[in-house]
């Protein structure tokens, strides 16, 4: 976003950023959060990344997960390492088996 803001300023463009909805957030004790933390082996956190989960959470509890590093998610240089991709297959399988 910084690069976009800087470019807009440099070109005399007024930029207004509007958040469509706040990031979805479940209580840390919610069964989906606890089960997902157990499966993933890490603590959940809330991040505003501009996903559809903000809208979907109006209908049902939502969690967001994907391979890669959160620091580059939804950035122009977003990437995941091949090993992360292949490891995520088993993780998604475990999530599906234990949460569905």
Are 72 and 78 spatial neighbours (Cβ–Cβ below 8 Å)? Answer: yes
Mean pLDDT of 57-67: 86
In 3-state terms, what secondary structure has residue 5?
Answer: helix
* Start-end of H helices in the chain: 2-10, 31-40, 53-56, 82-99
pLDDT at 63 over 90: no
Q: Is residue 7 part of a domain?
A: no
User: 1-10, 15-24, 58-67, 78-87: which range is least confident on average?
Assistant: 15-24
For residues 7, 10, 13, 18, the Cα torsion angle rounded to the nearest 10 degrees is: 40
Q: Is residue 51 part of a domain?
A: yes
Q: Is residue 5 part of a domain?
A: no
**Boundaries of domain holding 83:** 21-99
- Among 53, 55, 52, 35, smallest CA distance to 44 is for 35
Are 65 and 1 spatial neighbours (Cβ–Cβ below 8 Å)? Answer: no
pLDDT tens digit sequence for 4-59: 889 999 999 998 877 667 777 888 899 889 998 998 888 888 777 767 888 888 88
Q: What is the pLDDT of residue 57?
A: 85
Q: Is residue 92 part of a domain?
A: yes
Are 46 and 17 spatial neighbours (Cβ–Cβ below 8 Å)? Answer: no
Q: What is the pLDDT of residue 10?
A: 94
Q: What is the pLDDT of residue 1?
A: 73
Q: Is residue 3 part of a domain?
A: no
Q: Is residue 12 part of a domain?
A: no
Q: How many domains does the chain have?
A: 1
If you search the block for the tokens 């463009």, which residue do you land on? 13
Q: What is the pLDDT of residue 20?
A: 66
């Amino acid at each position: 976003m910084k690069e976009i803001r800087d470019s807009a300023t440099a070109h005399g463009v007024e930029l207004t950023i509007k958040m469509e909805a706040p990031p979805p957030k479940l209580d840390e004790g919610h069964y989906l959060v606890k089960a997902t933390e157990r499966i993933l082996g890490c603590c959940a956190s809330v991040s505003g990344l501009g996903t559809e989960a903000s809208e979907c959470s109006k209908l049902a509890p939502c969690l967001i997960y994907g391979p890669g590093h959160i620091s580059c998610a939804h950035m122009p240089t977003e990437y995941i390492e091949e090993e992360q991709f292949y490891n995520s297959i088993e993780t998604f399988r475990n999530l599906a088996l234990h949460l569905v």
